[in-house]
Amino acid sequence: MSVPAFGVAMRNFTRFPELPDAGALIDYGVRMEELGFESLWVWDHILLGTDPHFPILDSLSLLTAVAARTKTIKIGTGVLVLPLRNPVILAKQLSTIDLISNGRLMLGAAVGWYKREFDAVGIPYERRGKIMDRNLDILKRLWTEDSVSGQWDELDLRKAVMFPKPVQKPHPPILIGGYVDVVLKRAATKGDGWLTYFYTPESYTEAWGKISAYAQEAGRDPADLYSLNQLPIYVGPRETGMPKMLEWLNAEWDLSKGSLSSFDSAIVGTPTECAEQIAAHIATGVKKIVFVPWRYEKEQVDLLAHEVLPLLRK
């Protein structure tokens, strides 16, 4: 079994009264490249929560800043709430980020779940699935065609010419996030793969089996698709680490009802124990594992990079 690429999440949202520090996050991105992580992933919302609420920095602005300060690390959205964004403007933004980064952008995208956010932006929440498909179609066409004409709802493209194109051909990889069957089918047929968060090896295997079947039905080889699982990790004694991890996850994370996401997916233990737990994920065939270090503490990131990952690369 080949070793997947190892990425890391960045903390662009916090729980109020703590606020995300833009300068420190850009420095963190530079440091993750120095530590040898393959990719860096940001979270995305416009608004999140009321009481408590979660201050969040714009995902695309932050990735642009990191792209300008780094050379090799891939940068990704995990995940962009695609229906909230005007697809024509977004196509321009994302192609520009791919150019600034010289082809390092990965687009993780999903339909979203926070109705208050949709209402504030003026996007009909009940139509978000259809809007997602529409936006994907427009993005791909603007990125790959010299001229685009078509009417999508209120969007009237008449010989719309968008250059320069992204560096990556045909376009930056699009990974679809979500868990219901219609989303898994979208990932298998309209995306370049799937990303999820907090899935145990068993849950991942179950969902990937569905995606593989949908891909084969559509005449696609599942082996050509990207797959990504975001996993929380705490490196340290399990008896003290597990309570700390669960306290943090319960304070700052929501699990979608009906999703297979679970806090049971948390990787906790000594470097050897963590490596053994991660090996169970590698055995599923997942192509990318993105770690969410406990509280994003520097010590935790360093332990992961220097003590855990070398055991898996041997």
Average pLDDT over residues 169-174: 98
Q: Give the C-alpha distances (Å, rounded to integers) separating 83 from 67, 113, 136, 162, 201.
A: 24, 11, 9, 20, 30
* pLDDT for position 3: 87
More confident of the two residues 171 and 253: 171
Residue type, 216: Q
The tokens describing 235, both together, are 């490196």
Residue type, 143: W
In this predicted model, what pLDDT tens digit does every residue of 183-208 receive, in sequence order? 999 999 999 999 999 999 999 999 99
Task: Give residue limits of the domains in the chain.
Answer: 5-313
pLDDT confidence band for 256 (50 / 70 / 90): confident
Residues of the chain with pLDDT > 70, as a percent, come to 100
- The CATH number assigned to the domain with range 5-313 reads 3.20.20.30
* CA-based nearest residue to 96, from 128, 121, 60: 60
- CA–CA dist 59, 46 (Å, integer): 9
- Locus of tokens 């940068």: 75
Task: Return the minimum-mean-pLDDT range out of 76-80, 197-201, 247-251, 253-257.
Answer: 253-257
* pLDDT for position 60: 98
pLDDT over threshold 70, residue 1: no
- Rg over alpha carbons for the chain, rounded to the nearest Å, is 19
Average pLDDT over residues 216-232: 97
83, 100 Cβ separation under 8 angstroms: no
